Structure formats: structure tokens, C-alpha cells
Amino acid sequence: MWRSNPFDYVNTIAPSQLRGRDRVLHTLKRAITDGQSTAITGTSRSGKTSILNYLCCEKLQHKLYGKEQASRLIFSYVDALGLEKYHQTQFWKAVLKQLQEKIAHESDSALSKAYQTCQTTNFCKRELEKLFLQLKQAEWRFVLMLDGFDALSGYPLGNQEFFSVLRQLATQNQGALVLITTANAYLHEVFSSNKITGSPFNFLTEQTLHPLPEADIEQLLRQGDKHFTEEDYRFIKNLAGGHPYLLQLAASVWWQNYEGGDEIDILSWQQAERDIYNKAKETLKTIWHVFTLRVDMLKTFTSVALIHLAALPGQPLTLTTSMRSQLIDNINRLRSEREYLEKSGLIVYDNTHESWRVLPRVFLTFVKEEKLTREVSGKLNDSSYEKWLTSQTTVQNEEQQPRNLGYETKVPKPHRHGVVGPFPPPWEGR
């Protein structure tokens, strides 16, 4: 029986389909009810927007916060990417629209009058403070969700004055304003070049999104039903890791391979990986850009990627013993960066081979094809490492060596569909 492709990597995940985020959702729900502000940090397309949509979903609010508490919450979602030309007056007018609608029928109330005064004074700081004081006295809580908060680093709105006002409003009046932000990197790193002084973001509790747990990955991929074999599942998980977007993307592409009813052969596996990489490329570029904000993060990830690439059979990368030792030293020495990358699901330690590797593996194709081993040489501090990256790495041209996607060269084995199965990568599992 024909089925439509169950894997959607284009749209934001609907609240009813959100998986693997129970722990962070519980933490954020508790923060909202306690009046505490939070910054959600995660790699590009790791589900940050989906989490915000879940928390402010009108149908779920009674379940999440209780009927009484939900009736006192006002949610305002704002995509920071749309604030490029906003100044502070435009910003507050936009984000307080939900509040304005809530009190539209209370023209004579103290809260309504406070809002009208804010409008008259172009939402100056003093009147905003009075407005949120009135919110507190009315026992309401305004939950402002700023999605893609790091985008403000390049906008006129992302200045010292704006952040100071946000901080003061969110820290006074006992949670009348709760701020929930999302970003692809820690905020102090994103805004470090904006001459932002002090610690304007230390009132935000950081929540880093981990990769999806194994059980939730299984549940997600099992939507493939009889379309997928166990070999298919291993291929997708190894390529995408626990990254929600990459899992949906890889599964969707692989589903399409079966839709036509054609036999799956070696070229099909290679083409699938090529298609997945091409579709994921922009997301991988965004993740890579975050690495460039922090030299040691860049060095740590690159060190892991180079060790992993050199270990794959048929790869055009040669490491001497001293080179490998130097890379291992980088990984061991830069502990906080290594722990962040591991927590984010971008690298993992393989106990079987006693080595770090990149997860998701599609990132290896990005590192290799974008010639990033050469590009990063100007950004790393260690001169010997720079020299090695620029001149001592042996990279052969595609014309000189047949393309190899990291699979062992074995005789294809029979497949449940009567076609060829994949070649297991050198590192299986996590």
C-alpha cells in the first residue's frame, strides 16, 4: 500500500510531533512558572523554534502550566531575524501586541493606562518599568520569546542600551517579564565583538540542546516501517547522528530512494549520501560559522575531524604519528570546548577504537569538500599546526583517486528487498 513520505525536514516540527526534548521542556516549563529567564543554545536546526512553539501552544497551556497559571500567562513570540531595521520603539510596539489585545476591553484599567502612556512616550524605559509593575500587580506574567536572538548582533537594535533595558525589566518585579531566547552559540560569544560591556546576559540560565536520545531516534526512524531495513537504520543514524533535522533529512532522502521501486545498489547509497550532503550544506555552514567565533572550538572540532578522516579507508588524507599526537593533544587540552561539542552531539568518543570521531558523519564531507583544513589555518594560534594545515596535509585530487564515501570495500551482501545493502562504516554505533 502506498504511503506518503513521513519525514519532513522542511517545516518546523508540530508540538504533537516533538520528540526527545522532555527534560529541557520540563526545565523551561518550570522556569516560566517560576518567573525565570532562559537562553536556549543549540546548533542550527536542532529544534529550538519547535520548543518555543510547544511552550506557547494554546492547546497545551492548561496541561503544561495548570489552568489557573495558564490564565495568567501572556505569550509573545518574535523571530529576531525580522528585526533588522527595528529601533527600540518599533520593537516594543511589536512584542507587546499580545498584551495590547489582552487589555483592549479594559480602557479604564491601570494596566491599560500604563500601556497607553508607553505608546505616547515611544516606550521609554521609565514607562516600560511602570507597565511591567502594573502587570505584576495584576498578577499576570508576560513571556517574551526571542527566537534567533543572536541575529541581533549584526542589527542596530543589538546595542548596550537595549540589552540593559531587557535585563532590568526581566530582573525586577519578580518575573512580570520572562525572557526565553534561542541562539546558535553562547550569547557572550556572539556579542563579544559588539563592545557590549558588563554581563548583560548573566540573568539568563543557559540550556544547551543535546542530541536526540537513542530511543527517540529509533521511534522517529521507525516511521519508515517496512520501507527500511536494519542496515538502512544504521546508515541513517551514522550519517545524521542525533541531530533532529539531519535525521529527518536523511530518512526523507532514503525513503524517496525506495518510492520508485527500483533496486538499491552501491551507486544508490553513494548518491543518497551525496543528496543528503547537498541539502544539508547550508545548515552545516551555519554550524561551522559558529565555530569561527571561538578559535579553540574551531581547533578542537577540526582536530577530531582530521583524525576521523585519516582513519577512513581510501581517504586522501595522511597523518604522521607526530601530527596525530599534536591533534590528540589539542583535543585533550581544550576540555571545555570538547565537552561542549560532545554535549551538542557533534563529536563522540568511540570506545572500541579509543578515538574521538565526528557525529554526524555528513559533516566530514563538508570539512573535506570545502577544503576547510586549509581555510582554518589562518585562524589557529599554534604556528606548527598552522604550518601543517597549509603545507603538510596530503590531499589528492578527485581525479587522482576514486571517490570513497567512507565505507569498507566488501562484496555486497543480499538485502531483504533483493537488492544490495550498505557497507558498514568503520565505526558503528556510539
Sequence spans of domains, the chain: 22-208, 213-430
**CB of 94 within 8 A of CB of 86?**
yes
Number of other residues whose CB lies within 10 A of the CB of residue 240: 26
- Kindly report, residue by residue over 112-168, the tens digit of the pLDDT: 999 999 999 999 999 999 999 999 999 999 999 999 999 998 899 999 999 999 999
Can you tell me the mean pLDDT for 215-221? 91
Stated pTM of the model: 0.84
What cell numbers appear for 211 in the block? Answer: 542530541
Reported confidence tier of residue 385, pLDDT bands at 50, 70, 90: low
Reported confidence tier of residue 371, pLDDT bands at 50, 70, 90: low
Residue with cell string 540589552: 163
What cell numbers appear for 152 in the block? Answer: 541581533
Give the C-alpha separation, 169 to 190, whole Å.
22
Give the C-alpha separation, 176 to 170, whole Å.
7
Give the C-alpha separation, 65 to 188, whole Å.
31
- Kindly report, residue by residue over 301-339, the tens digit of the pLDDT: 989 998 998 888 876 677 788 888 888 999 999 999 999
Crossing angle, helix 295-311 and helix 362-369, to 10 degrees? Answer: 100
User: Residue 428 has what pLDDT?
Assistant: 37
Phi-psi region of 43 (alpha: psi -120 to 50; beta: other; left: phi over 0): beta
Provide the pairing of β-strand 73-79 with 347-350: unpaired
Phi-psi region of 175 (alpha: psi -120 to 50; beta: other; left: phi over 0): left
Can you tell me the mean pLDDT for 90-113? 91
**CB of 173 within 8 A of CB of 133?**
yes
Q: What's the DSSP call for residue 149?
A: G
**CB of 169 within 8 A of CB of 129?**
yes
User: Residue 391 has what pLDDT?
Assistant: 47
Closest CA to 337 of 312, 306, 301: 301
Can you tell me the mean pLDDT for 347-351? 93
**CB of 144 within 8 A of CB of 108?**
no
- Looking at the predicted structure, is the pLDDT value of residue 408 above 60? no
**CB of 234 within 8 A of CB of 245?**
no
The whole-chain average pLDDT of the chain stands at: 83
What is each CA distance from 428 to 129, 234, 235, in whole angstroms? Answer: 56, 8, 9
Give the C-alpha separation, 240 to 244, whole Å.
8
Q: What's the DSSP call for residue 111?
A: H
**CB of 142 within 8 A of CB of 177?**
yes
Using CB atoms within 10 A of its CB, is residue 293 exposed (0-12), middle (13-18) or buried (19+)? middle
**Least confident range of 43-47, 187-191, 351-355:** 187-191
Among the four given CATH numbers 3.50.50.60, 3.40.50.2300, 3.40.50.720, 3.40.50.300, the one describing domain 22-208 = 3.40.50.300
Positive or negative, the CA dihedral 9, 14, 18, 22 is positive
Give the C-alpha separation, 256 to 76, whole Å.
38
Give the C-alpha separation, 368 to 316, whole Å.
9
Number of other residues whose CB lies within 10 A of the CB of residue 429: 11
Give the C-alpha separation, 176 to 163, whole Å.
17
Can you tell me the mean pLDDT for 189-205? 81
What cell numbers appear for 102 in the block? Answer: 489582552
